[in-house]
Amino acid sequence: MTTQEVRLGGFGGQGVILAGLILGRAKSIFDDKFATLTQDFGPEARGGAASCAVILSDEPILYPNVFTPDILLAMSKGAYDKYIGGLKKDGILVVEEDLVDVGDIDPSIKVYKCPATRFAEEIGRKIVLNIVMYGFLCAVTGLISEETARKGVEASIPKGTEKLNFAAFEKGYQYGLEQKAKLG
């Protein structure tokens, strides 16, 4: 990997920006590579649109904006509708399968679906659906190793929430490995 551009989108309260922050932190600090993050969110605390763009690179990044991402993670139908047109041909689409209906899509795009909200509820707190999606994203894309991804979570979560967040990460990561093996 030289440079990978990732857009993460959803609605406020899903933890989309935190997931992007963890990804960039993991790559830059624990892989000793380069990362940038730009974020965009509405004035609403919850329910409004939220997105971030992360660039991961082996070399210094000269411009932080993402226009045609290699990977799109959509945690809401609104984010999917807004950003799917910009995803590169042969890109990777990662969606929260209960919230996003993909429909007809360019056959060159690889689609991975995760029921992250259901998994988070099974774990005990819906609030960790972003960590489930982060683990899933890391597994299906290989952007960072499992060890690096775990270190990113550990460095980014509040003390006292480790058990919950690591359970969420593990659930997403393992499900991602299963989907990757099944879909290629």
> pLDDT tens across 47-65, in order?
678 999 999 999 999 999 9
What is the residue range of 43's domain? 3-183
What pLDDT does residue 52 have? 96
Residues of the chain predicted below pLDDT 50:
none
CATH number at residue 30: 3.40.920.10
What pLDDT does residue 135 have? 98
CA angle 12, 16, 18 (to 5 degrees): 110
Q: What is the count of structural domains for the chain?
A: 1
As a dihedral over the C-alpha atoms of residue 115, residue 116, residue 119, residue 120, rounded to 10 degrees, the angle is -150
> Among residues 126, 144, 137, which one has the least CA distance to residue 95?
137
Residue 127 CA to residue 79 CA, distance in Å, equals 19
If you ran DSSP here, which 8-state letter would residue 85 be given?
A: G
Residue 88 CA to residue 167 CA, distance in Å, equals 32
pTM of the model: 0.95
User: How much is the mean pLDDT over the chain?
Assistant: 94
Per-residue pLDDT of 137-147, as tens digits, reads 999 999 999 99
What pLDDT does residue 99 have? 95
**Rg of the Cα trace of the chain?**
15
Residues whose CB falls within 8 Å of the CB of residue 138, separated by 6 or more in sequence, listed in order = 23, 144, 146, 149, 173, 176
Q: What are phi and psi of 110, to 5 degrees?
A: -85, 130
3-state secondary structure of 74: strand
**One-letter identity of residue 116:** A
Q: Quick one: tokens of 177?
A: 């490995």
3-state secondary structure of 135: helix
**CA-to-CA dists, residue 123 to 36, 117, 152, angstroms:** 31, 10, 20
Residue 69 Ramachandran class (φ > 0 left, ψ -120 to 50 alpha, else beta) = beta
> Among residues 117, 69, 112, 80, which one has the least CA distance to residue 94?
112
